[in-house]
Amino acid sequence: MAHFSESFTRHPVRLVPVGFAIGIAVTTTCLLLPIASRQSGSTGFLDALFTGTSAITVTGLITLDTSTHWTLFGEAVIMIAMQIGGIGIMASAAFMGLLVSRRIGLTGRLLTQAELNRTIDMGDLRSILIKAVTIFGIVEAATTLVLSLRFYHAYGFNKFDALWYGLFHGVSSFNSGGFSLFADSLEGYVNDPWIILTIVTAAIIGGLGMPVLFELSRRGWGRHRWSLHTKMTLVGTSLLFALGFVVFLTFEWSNPATMGPFGWKEKILPALLQAVMPRSTGFNSIDVGSMTTESILVAIVLMAIGGGSVSTAGGMKVTTFFLLAWVIWSELRGDPDVSAFRRRIPDTAVRQALSVALIYVALIAVGVLSIQIIDPHFQLQEIMFEATSAAATVGQSTGITAELSSPSKAVAIFLMYVGRIGPVLFATSLAIRTRQRRYRFPEGRPLVG
């Protein structure tokens, strides 16, 4: 036991996957209880594990209809798991330790630093944790208020149901959870601006990441005051949002199964929601499985990119993707250094971004290949979408999740778990292992291309 404790003390990053695993185990156990299910008996273990993993990793993929299978207790378990997953188990544990002992030692700082991916100055951890929880509380409370009032006044919900549905979807939207208490997600509210715009706003804020939100709250909206990370995140998010909106609006404009029956004004909101959801929360207001092939492929790319660093969204992260884009641009121009916004990017950051991106693509490829071998009767684009959605912890689906065989569900569980902790853990490990050599090997130049 002493050796076990000493191992984690020396390598606190190892507690990140253990913490998430414990969260999944607790959630799964709660969902296995008969009180959690509306059906007779308890839920099957694999379905409970799948749901528990999806909730803790804030993915949103489901094998059981959330609106009909789970009781109020089961829904509460899922919502709490999404909240824990959104804040981050390590940040939550550090915060709870702060409340108990009123101090955080070196181990606690390293644990939270691992979860925050070394993008926040850890000099004042107590203030960071308080600010993070405050932001979560404010955004979720505002989202809950708007949604609850809309459900109550416009759709005839009683007071309890309006509050519960507003709270559940408020937590799910900001934490990129993707779980919905409606069988068709948000398809029933496809042209309700109060519902759609509120959820889109919460998802965008949650997908920016804590470093960006902290900086905006501290320095305001003057772009000359922003750090390079904030500039890259905001510019990248804006470009991806605009690209997604134009693409989905164009390719789904005449699709009779999605936006085709709507008037031109009614097409705006579903295109707006779909431009945001693949990179973060995973709600849908149109049938994703009925989208055109072009829209499916663009959604896969957006899911793989994901949201901002240290955000509730998944993916390889916006800064990772655009940093590599800047590398390509610098090579095309023949620049000796990679620079962005008049700042030179260090080689270590470039290598880390390249490593994370390649590992992430490899993870998705392994998932696609595995599911294709296990369930070859599904179309390749459906499998690609499902695997990417799981690895990027998005939660959108073409509708095949519940139809996956048990081995394929196990693959999806693995993708959700590794996709949630992998990029953070890998990037942090790279940063920790960075070292200086006192010698350099002779230069060699292999042929490229």
Mean pLDDT per 10-residue segment, the chain (449 residues): 51 69 94 91 91 94 92 96 80 46 45 44 60 88 97 95 97 93 93 96 90 77 73 93 95 94 93 93 92 95 90 87 90 82 82 87 95 95 95 92 95 93 64 59 71
**Is 439 inside any structural domain?**
no
Domain encompassing residue 411: 2-433
Total count of domains within the chain: 1
**Is 397 inside any structural domain?**
yes
Amino acid at 150: R
pLDDT computed for residue 300 by the predictor: 96
Q: Is residue 236 a contact partner of residue 341, using CB atoms and an 8 Å limit?
A: no
pLDDT computed for residue 17 by the predictor: 79
**Is 367 inside any structural domain?**
yes
Burial annotation 281-318 (CB, 10 A radius, 16+ → b, else e) = bbbbbbebbebbeebbbbbbbbbbbbbbbbbbbbbbbb
- Maximum Cα–Cα distance for the chain, whole Å? 74
CA-closest candidate to residue 140, choices 132, 128, 130: 132
Q: Is residue 274 a contact partner of residue 241, using CB atoms and an 8 Å limit?
A: no
**Is 279 inside any structural domain?**
yes
Q: Is residue 363 a contact partner of residue 422, using CB atoms and an 8 Å limit?
A: yes
Q: Is residue 79 a contact partner of residue 36, using CB atoms and an 8 Å limit?
A: no
**Is 277 inside any structural domain?**
yes
pLDDT computed for residue 425 by the predictor: 65
Q: Residue 444: CB partners within 8 Å, gap ≥ 6?
A: none
Q: Is residue 413 a contact partner of residue 393, using CB atoms and an 8 Å limit?
A: no
pLDDT computed for residue 376 by the predictor: 94
Q: Is residue 387 a contact partner of residue 368, using CB atoms and an 8 Å limit?
A: yes
Question: The tokens of 292 are what?
Answer: 């055109």
**Is 170 inside any structural domain?**
yes
**Is 428 inside any structural domain?**
yes
**Is 447 inside any structural domain?**
no
What is the pTM for the complete model shown? Answer: 0.88
